[in-house]
A and B are shown apart, each in its own frame.
Chain A
Amino acid sequence: MPDIGVISSTIVAGVLLGGILALTALGLSIVLGVMRLVNLAHGDFLVVGAYAGLFFLQFTGIDPLLGVPVVAVFVGVLALPVYRLLLAPLADRGAEARMMTMFAVSIILENAFVLAFSADTRSIARDYATVALSLGPVTFPLIYLIGFVISVSLILTVHWLVSATAFGRDLRASAVDAEAAATLGVDVKRVQMLTFSLGAACAGVGGTLIGAAFQFGPSSGGAYLLNRLAVVVLGGLGSVIGTLAGGIALGALQSIGGLTLGDGYRDLVGMALFLLVLAFRPDGFLARGRT
């Protein structure tokens, strides 16, 4: 039985990691909620952000965490033509068409990464990324705390955007009933495009954080996708605060799972939870109706 220090450290680390997880899942969540699209390329958007952060550092020498706004804008802008050219024309088609289009984008992205950056595994090597922070008996990586702060700030910003602005109102209307929203004068296509872009921007920032805290490569996208889906389902499709709560919950539970069963079982715990929640509360464990 590991001591109290290990347990509390694990839980704290899990919560902090969960915040970062939530940010990386946010894009998936809002796109799913507003566009009813399972963005199979979401994980690859994360990787785009990671590469962006890496090269931002290499070319400007500025710390990627300071460059986060740049990464956000960069990835967000990249997503606009993807929506305009590839998704908008398919708006009235069934779910498979858009899903497969995004999967095709995922293939293209992964191969573009290999062509442009080689298949090497990368990591954004910063000194603060590999330092442990100790507060009493609790020890956790400093980068988790930094990432948590950045993630939560961004998530709260998006939440404000969604709940308190005109754009947010349009977004929520489109999510509940796109046809009704259109008759009320909402430019649904534009809302969807901006939502998609916003989702990508969040993914980009999340990707940079992941790149700093962990490592990534051209094919990392797929592995990220499934975990993020679990967060989205836990928190409720389309709910921003729900995603935050879902991420933190999953992070904590996965850490406990890793501690008790072994690190290899973290993902398994995540998936099992995912299925359980899907089975009993498909709208999300924490959803209280639509945001």
Chain B
Amino acid sequence: MKHHIGKSLAATIVLASATLALGISVASADDIVIGASLPLSGPLAGFGSFQQWGYKRAVDEINKAGGIAINGTKQQIKLIIRDDKTDPNATASNTETLISRDRVVAMLGSCTPALVNAGALVSERAKKPMVTGCDPLEAFKSVRKWNYVWDLFFHEPELGAAQFKAMADLGAKTNKKLAIWHDNGPDGQVVGGKIWPALAKEFGYEVVQNAEFPIDNSQFTSIIGEAKSKGAEVVLVDAITPQAIAIRKQMASAGYSPKVLNIEKGAEPVQFAEALGKLSDGILVGGYWDPTFPYPGAADLAKAFESETKLTSSQHIADSYAAAQILLDAITAAGSTDPEKINTAIAKTDKSYVVGPVKFDENHTAKLPIVSLQWQGGKTAIVWPKAAQTGNFMFPLP
């Protein structure tokens, strides 16, 4: 019996130590270590891979140029990325490990509020600066008053207003009856639950339906049926991609064709158009970045991504690339690996990146401007603001 216990514990300790030892990464003493926990598997794996590319590219560029000068000597950046499997518990524990074991000087964020929050709270408590994208600003602000975490992304009210403004500027003639369908995630509730109804009033639309559904809902027959029976010619949706695809397909199956269909979040990636084929034509979606934007390096970034990965580019490569650059610029400006100094330097950011001019306000947020994109033949065209148009506005929905 005693042998039994002793052997078991011995075996365990050996096995456990061996597995843990695998992880003690050998970082040269001269490296500046930064970390990120990303969803590289699980439902958000798509986002994770874009972010990974963006973060890595920014770090590789600086390293190729010689690194960052700390107290006079140039040091290389080591970026450690861990997979959080789309589980906030894992994001938190990954961030902890990165900070306490790998001794990162700063963090880059995960994606979507649930994951970003989990990691950001750890970073905040450990007083390590974190720059993140992929987290809508109101959702970010609603958690707490941040001291060490910085977010650049779109602002939900602007996103909400974009399509109203677009419809007005482009002269879309409808019966002004509006159906709102939104998921019950953080930005779904904010945009669909509050912003859109308020703006509807302002722009003179009648909200005939406001339906909420769980993020991973699969059937929308009742929601669609109700909107169809109430004759809504404008439908605004806020859902993620699988649901967006389901909604569009089920609308077609139900024979419901409004004049204007806007699907936020879900209709943005190219997989949306690939999965739907012709059905994706005419669908509007707000975008916070496009390779045609007149910002430094925008077009090149998309080209580099497409040639390296042979995939179609996504706006998520841009905010991650910019976030990493902002952090690296701050470390350069601080000239030190002291977290406090880096944090202060991030606060002073005021520069144009691939996503546009970035300057953080007192809430640690930086707004990315929104344009209205429309799917046309498997590609997105900017249809609003008119000054940035790259294609004609398709109206009504084909």
Touching in the complex, A and B, CB below 8 A? yes
Chain A interface residues (CB < 8 Å from chain B): 2-3, 6, 9-10, 13, 110-111, 114, 118-123, 125, 129-132, 134, 139-144, 213-215, 217-220, 223, 254-255, 258-259, 262-264, 266-267
Residues from chain A with Cβ under 8 Å of B293 in the complex:
none
Residues from chain A with Cβ under 8 Å of B93 in the complex:
none
Whether A131 touches B213, Cβ cut-off 8 Å, given contacts A10-B221, A263-B220, is no
Residues from chain B with Cβ under 8 Å of A140 in the complex:
253
Closest B residue to A128 by beta carbon equals B253
A110 to B40, CA, bound (A): 12
Closest A residue to B215 by beta carbon equals A264
* Contact A132 B255, beta carbon cutoff 8 Å: yes
Residues from chain A with Cβ under 8 Å of B279 in the complex:
125, 130
* Contact B43 A217, beta carbon cutoff 8 Å: yes
Residues from chain B with Cβ under 8 Å of A259 in the complex:
222, 225
Whether A263 touches B229, Cβ cut-off 8 Å, given contacts A118-B46, A119-B49, A223-B218, is no
| Minimum Cβ distance to chain A for residue B215 (Å) | 10
Residues from chain A with Cβ under 8 Å of B254 in the complex:
132, 139, 141
Closest 5 CB pairs of A and B: A141-B253, A130-B252, A120-B271, A132-B255, A119-B45
A266 to B49, CA, bound (A): 32
Cβ contacts B257-273/A at 8 Å (1 or 0 each): 00000000000010110
11 further contact pairs, Cβ within 8 A, besides A111-B41, A123-B275, A214-B218: A2-B229, A3-B229, A119-B49, A223-B216, A254-B219, A255-B222, A258-B221, A258-B222, A263-B219, A263-B220, A264-B184
Cβ contacts B163-188/A at 8 Å (1 or 0 each): 00000000000000000000010000
Whether A120 touches B218, Cβ cut-off 8 Å, given contacts A2-B226, A114-B41, A132-B255, is no
Whether A131 touches B253, Cβ cut-off 8 Å, given contacts A119-B46, A214-B218, A255-B221, is yes
Residues from chain B with Cβ under 8 Å of A130 in the complex:
249, 252-253, 279
Q: Which of A2, A111, A134 sits near B225, CB closer than 8 Å?
A: A2
| Minimum Cβ distance to chain B for residue A218 (Å) | 7
Whether A263 touches B222, Cβ cut-off 8 Å, given contacts A123-B276, A215-B249, is yes
* Contact B222 A262, beta carbon cutoff 8 Å: yes
Q: Which of B41, B225, B271 sits near A121, CB closer than 8 Å?
A: B271
| Sample of 17 A–B contacts (CB below 8 Å) | A10-B222, A111-B41, A119-B44, A120-B269, A121-B241, A121-B271, A125-B276, A130-B253, A141-B250, A141-B254, A214-B250, A215-B246, A215-B275, A258-B219, A263-B213, A263-B222, A264-B212
Closest B residue to A122 by beta carbon equals B275
Find residues 242-256 in chain B having any chain A CB closer than 8 Å to their own CB: 242, 245-246, 249-250, 252-255
Q: Is B311 an interface residue (CB 8 A)?
A: yes
* Contact B229 A6, beta carbon cutoff 8 Å: yes
| Minimum Cβ distance to chain A for residue B39 (Å) | 9
Q: Is B42 an interface residue (CB 8 A)?
A: yes
Residues from chain B with Cβ under 8 Å of A6 in the complex:
225, 229
Q: Which of B214, B242, B276 sits near A217, CB closer than 8 Å?
A: B242
| Minimum Cβ distance to chain B for residue A3 (Å) | 7
Closest A residue to B214 by beta carbon equals A264
A228 to B214, CA, bound (A): 19
Q: Is B301 an interface residue (CB 8 A)?
A: no
Residues from chain A with Cβ under 8 Å of B42 in the complex:
219
* Contact B45 A218, beta carbon cutoff 8 Å: yes
Residues from chain B with Cβ under 8 Å of A258 in the complex:
219, 221-222
| Minimum Cβ distance to chain B for residue A288 (Å) | 31
Residues from chain B with Cβ under 8 Å of A267 in the complex:
214, 217
Q: Which of A215, A218, A220, A258 has the most CB of B within 10 A?
A: A215
Q: Is B277 an interface residue (CB 8 A)?
A: yes
Q: Which of B43, B49, B242, B278 sits near A215, CB closer than 8 Å?
A: B242
Residues from chain A with Cβ under 8 Å of B249 in the complex:
123, 129-130, 213-215
* Contact A121 B275, beta carbon cutoff 8 Å: yes
Closest A residue to B47 by beta carbon equals A119
Closest A residue to B49 by beta carbon equals A119
Q: Which of B49, B214, B275, B311 sits near A125, CB closer than 8 Å?
A: B275
Q: Is B274 an interface residue (CB 8 A)?
A: yes
Residues from chain B with Cβ under 8 Å of A213 in the complex:
249, 253
Find residues 15-70 in chain B having any chain A CB closer than 8 Å to their own CB: 41-46, 49
Closest B residue to A217 by beta carbon equals B242
Q: Which of B49, B213, B278 sits near A262, CB closer than 8 Å?
A: B213
Q: Which of B216, B218, B253, B269 sits near A142, CB closer than 8 Å?
A: B253
Whether A120 touches B246, Cβ cut-off 8 Å, given contacts A130-B253, A262-B211, A262-B213, is no
Q: Is B199 an interface residue (CB 8 A)?
A: no
Whether A120 touches B255, Cβ cut-off 8 Å, given contacts A125-B279, A219-B42, A259-B222, is no
A262 to B217, CA, bound (A): 11
Residues from chain A with Cβ under 8 Å of B397 in the complex:
none
* Contact A214 B225, beta carbon cutoff 8 Å: no
* Contact B46 A120, beta carbon cutoff 8 Å: yes
Residues from chain B with Cβ under 8 Å of A255 in the complex:
219, 221-222
Q: Which of B242, B255, B276 sits near A139, CB closer than 8 Å?
A: B255
Q: Is B121 an interface residue (CB 8 A)?
A: no
